[in-house]
């Protein structure tokens, strides 16, 4: 008796403590965040027991057998790393700004090979560079740097990679503006509307006290797969230059547009040719997709200084990037960068890498053609504008849901479909389901 009364009192006491804690403590008020828009779907997919299930959500390249592949060039580089004492024995920390040889090779690849007309930027030491934790790390470091020193306003395309808003808002940006990019009804880029919006908001100098940043997808726009034409890019670059905006080029898919890594750096070339970006040009680059080094976290951030910048300005930038990196992950991971460094240092391997990227893109083009044969959707093969790993179905949420619930076919909620998940074994099943769902009103 005594013990039951005692335990009732104890429970009551603790229930009171819990209620007080919930109402008084900020920790008790933390609510669940929504699941990640893309990776949350894969968790759902993994639980699906339908043997015909197809995951078309994540941007990871898979071969025609549905396997995530290691590119032959990368596999060879891994063997070289494994078999050389001096390459695989030293597992100590990298410097905060990354491995020196990796940095040199990447700078050469980006600014001598991809942008030969601007190679003098390297000779004149006008580029502040750090190895980053993949493309996400590059965008995050750029955001922290810009928001600390230059601007807390950024313009993102509507639509964009879902993580962009998250990165900028978590790294000091106070104002995140969206510019019209993609017209859902026509499937076209809305350049005129986009530039008019910038003109109206940024062009009025009395409204704008600090320069504003703008994020540009270098190619293979995610999620729509639709990029402006070269002529349109000229107009866009002229306008953002005139408005003294700060270009942040997000180059996560170099090579996946044309199959040629060098050709696909066209936006960087065009922006460098324009030149004179008074608050710098920011390039966030990743080897996740074009070397298949997804989980290894290999990328870079470079800040191209304007011609008027002095040695001291470059040294100041170099020094300021370091404490930012140090506060987040201290220094970048080593293994992936050793592999990338070997690919970039060995001419035969580099050529093999170029062929590997070409082969990947050829398979993706083949998938587009086969889906087109089955579905007759012209955008699938509109190669002047439609590029890369993703096809934007323009399906409504209820159609995306129908695909998931009825056919166990998973697209991202905005209707983006990763072509790399399509293969000979599932294309007929997929085409039938996509065709049926497209007829839904
Ligand atoms: C547009 C865009 N930017 C950046 C990234 C970052 O890629 P990662 O951090 O895997 O290099 C991605 C990855 O999906 C992307 O789609």
pLDDT value of position 58: 83
The finding on whether 252 has its CB within 6 A of some atom of ligand 1 is yes
Write out the E strands in 232-376.
246-251, 281-286, 299-304
Tens digits of per-residue pLDDT, 75-108?
999 999 999 877 777 889 999 999 999 999 999 9
User: How far, rounded to the nearest angstrom, does the alpha carbon of residue 99 sit from its chain's CA centroid?
Assistant: 22
CB 300 within 8 A of CB 131: yes
Residue where a domain stops, chosen among 345, 371, 387? 345
User: Are 164 and 202 members of one domain?
Assistant: yes
Q: What would the mean pLDDT of 104-114 be, rounded to a whole number? A: 97
- Tell me which residue of 255, 259, 340 sits closest to 298, measured CA to CA: 340
Number of domains in the chain: 2
Which residue puts its alpha carbon closest to atom 15 of ligand 1?
252
- Tell me which residue of 223, 236, 257 sits closest to 155, measured CA to CA: 236
Compute CA distances 126 → 165, 302, 348, whole Å: 29, 10, 30
Tens digits of per-residue pLDDT, 2-29?
567 778 888 888 888 888 888 888 888 8
Q: How confident is the model at residue 109 (pLDDT cuts 50, 70, 90)?
A: very high
Write out the E strands in 193-278.
213-217, 246-251
Residue 76 included in any domain: no
pLDDT value of position 435: 96
User: Are 314 and 172 members of one domain?
Assistant: yes
User: Are 299 and 318 members of one domain?
Assistant: yes
pLDDT value of position 203: 84
pLDDT value of position 221: 97
Helices 100-107 and 335-345: crossing angle, nearest 10°? 50
In angstroms, the CA 89 to CA 81 distance is 9
Mutation to probe ligand 1, out of 137, 141, 168, 222 (largest number of atoms < 8 A from CB): 222
Q: What would the mean pLDDT of 287-306 be, rounded to a whole number? A: 97
Compute CA distances 277 → 22, 176, 237, whole Å: 51, 21, 11
User: Are 102 and 232 members of one domain?
Assistant: yes
Q: Which residues contact 92 (CB under 8 A, 6 or more apart)?
A: none
Q: How confident is the model at residue 205 (pLDDT cuts 50, 70, 90)?
A: low
The finding on whether 421 has its CB within 6 A of some atom of ligand 1 is no
User: Are 275 and 228 members of one domain?
Assistant: yes
Q: Integer distance in angstroms from the first to the last C-alpha of the chain?
A: 66
Neighbouring-strand partners of residue 248: 215, 282
- Tell me which residue of 158, 112, 121, 109 sits closest to 305, measured CA to CA: 121
Residue 77 included in any domain: no
The finding on whether 134 has its CB within 6 A of some atom of ligand 1 is yes
User: Are 363 and 339 members of one domain?
Assistant: no
Full residue range of the structural domain in which residue 214 is found = 93-345
Tens digits of per-residue pLDDT, 117-156?
999 999 999 999 999 999 999 999 999 999 999 999 999 9
Residue where a domain stops, chosen among 306, 325, 345? 345
Q: Which residue has the higher pLDDT, 89 or 62?
A: 62
Residue 423 included in any domain: yes
User: Are 402 and 292 members of one domain?
Assistant: no
Task: Name the least confident of 121-125, 201-205, 375-379.
Answer: 201-205
Q: How far does residue 190's CA lie from ligand 1's centre (Å)?
A: 23
Tens digits of per-residue pLDDT, 255-277?
999 999 999 999 999 999 999 99
User: Are 237 and 310 members of one domain?
Assistant: yes
Report the CATH number that the domain containing residue 266 is assigned in CATH. 3.40.640.10
The finding on whether 290 has its CB within 6 A of some atom of ligand 1 is no
pLDDT value of position 87: 76
Residue where a domain stops, chosen among 312, 345, 378? 345
User: Which helix or strand (DSSP H or E) is residue 242 part of?
Assistant: helix 230-242
Task: Name the least confident of 21-35, 184-198, 274-288.
Answer: 21-35
Predicted structure pTM score? 0.94
pLDDT value of position 89: 78
User: Are 332 and 419 members of one domain?
Assistant: no
Residue 276 included in any domain: yes
Report the CATH number that the domain containing residue 434 is assigned in CATH. 3.90.1150.10
pLDDT value of position 1: 53
Residue 35 clears pLDDT 90, i.e. is over it: no
Residue 44 included in any domain: yes
Q: Which residues contact 13 (CB under 8 A, 6 or more apart)?
A: none
Residue 18 included in any domain: no
Residue 6 included in any domain: no
User: Are 354 and 311 members of one domain?
Assistant: no
Q: How far does residue 163's CA lie from ligand 1's centre (Å)?
A: 8
User: Are 233 and 331 members of one domain?
Assistant: yes
User: How far, rounded to the nearest angstrom, does the alpha carbon of residue 302 sit from its chain's CA centroid?
Assistant: 15
Q: How confident is the model at residue 306 (pLDDT cuts 50, 70, 90)?
A: very high
Q: How far does residue 284's CA lie from ligand 1's centre (Å)?
A: 9
Residue 217 included in any domain: yes
Tens digits of per-residue pLDDT, 349-365?
999 999 999 999 999 99
User: Are 135 and 53 members of one domain?
Assistant: no
């Amino acid at each position: 008796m005594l013990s039951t009364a005692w335990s009732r009192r104890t429970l009551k006491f603790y229930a009171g403590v819990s209620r007080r804690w919930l109402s008084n403590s900020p920790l008790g008020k933390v609510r669940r965040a929504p699941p990640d828009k893309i990776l949350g779907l894969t968790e759902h997919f993994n639980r699906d027991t339908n043997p015909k299930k197809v995951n078309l959500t994540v941007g990871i390249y898979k071969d025609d057998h549905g396997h995530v592949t290691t590119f032959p060039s990368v596999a060879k580089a891994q063997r070289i790393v494994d078999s050389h004492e001096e390459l695989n024995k030293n597992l100590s920390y990298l410097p905060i700004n990354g491995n020196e040889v990796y940095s040199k090779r990447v700078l050469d690849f980006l600014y001598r090979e991809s942008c030969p007309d601007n190679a003098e930027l390297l000779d004149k030491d006008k580029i502040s560079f750090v190895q980053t934790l993949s493309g996400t790390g590059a965008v995050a470091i750029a955001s922290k740097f810009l928001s600390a020193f230059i601007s807390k306003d950024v313009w993102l395309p509507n639509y964009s990679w879902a993580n962009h808003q998250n990165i900028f808002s978590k790294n000091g940006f106070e104002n995140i503006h969206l510019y019209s990019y993609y017209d859902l009804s026509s499937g076209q880029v809305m350049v005129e509307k986009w530039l008019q919006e910038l003109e109206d908001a940024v062009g009025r100098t009395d409204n704008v006290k600090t320069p504003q940043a703008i994020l540009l997808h270098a190619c293979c726009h995610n999620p729509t797969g639709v990029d402006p034409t070269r002529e349109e890019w000229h107009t866009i670059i002229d306008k953002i230059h005139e408005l003294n905006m700060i270009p942040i080029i997000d180059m996560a898919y170099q090579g996946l547009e044309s199959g040629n890594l060098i050709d696909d750096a066209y936006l960087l070339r065009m922006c460098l040719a324009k030149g004179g970006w008074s608050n710098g040009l920011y390039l966030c680059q990743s080897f996740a997709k074009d070397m298949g080094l997804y989980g290894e976290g290999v990328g870079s951030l470079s800040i191209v200084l304007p011609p008027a910048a002095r040695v001291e300005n470059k040294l100041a930038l170099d020094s300021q990037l370091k404490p930012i990196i140090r506060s987040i992950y201290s220094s970048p991971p080593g293994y992936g960068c050793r592999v990338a460094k070997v690919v970039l240092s060995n001419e035969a391997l580099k050529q093999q890498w170029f062929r590997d990227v070409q082969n990947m893109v050829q398979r993706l083009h083949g998938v587009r053609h086969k889906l087109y044969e089955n579905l007759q959707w012209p955008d699938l093969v509109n190669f002047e504008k439609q590029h890369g790993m993703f096809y934007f179905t323009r399906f409504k949420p209820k159609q995306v849901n129908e695909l998931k619930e009825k056919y166990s076919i998973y697209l991202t909620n905005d209707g983006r479909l990763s072509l790399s998940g399509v293969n000979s074994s599932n294309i007929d099943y997929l085409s039938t389901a996509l065709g049926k769902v497209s007829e839904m009103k």
